[in-house]
Amino acid sequence: MFVKIDKKTHEETIISSTDMTLVLERDIKDNQVDDTLTEMVISGYEHKDKTAIYRYKK
């Protein structure tokens, strides 16, 4: 499952893999989305934008 953590409130919200994909498609190049999702699941990579931190949570 993917989690969105609000930077101001630190509130965690569970998001779907579809929603996570949409965030990545908005923020990075399309050809890097699959690799980034894999890195999030395997190595714990966290994606950050202006308002939130996104991570994979087992």
pLDDT in tens, 10-57: 999 999 999 999 999 999 998 999 999 999 999 999 999 999 999 999
**Model-level pTM?**
0.91
Map out the domains of the chain as residue ranges.
2-56
3-state secondary structure of 1: coil
pLDDT number for residue 11: 98
pLDDT number for residue 44: 94
Res 58 pLDDT > 90: no
17-42 in b/e form (b: 16+ CB < 10 A) is eeebbebbeeeeeeeebeebbeebee
pLDDT number for residue 8: 98
pLDDT number for residue 26: 96
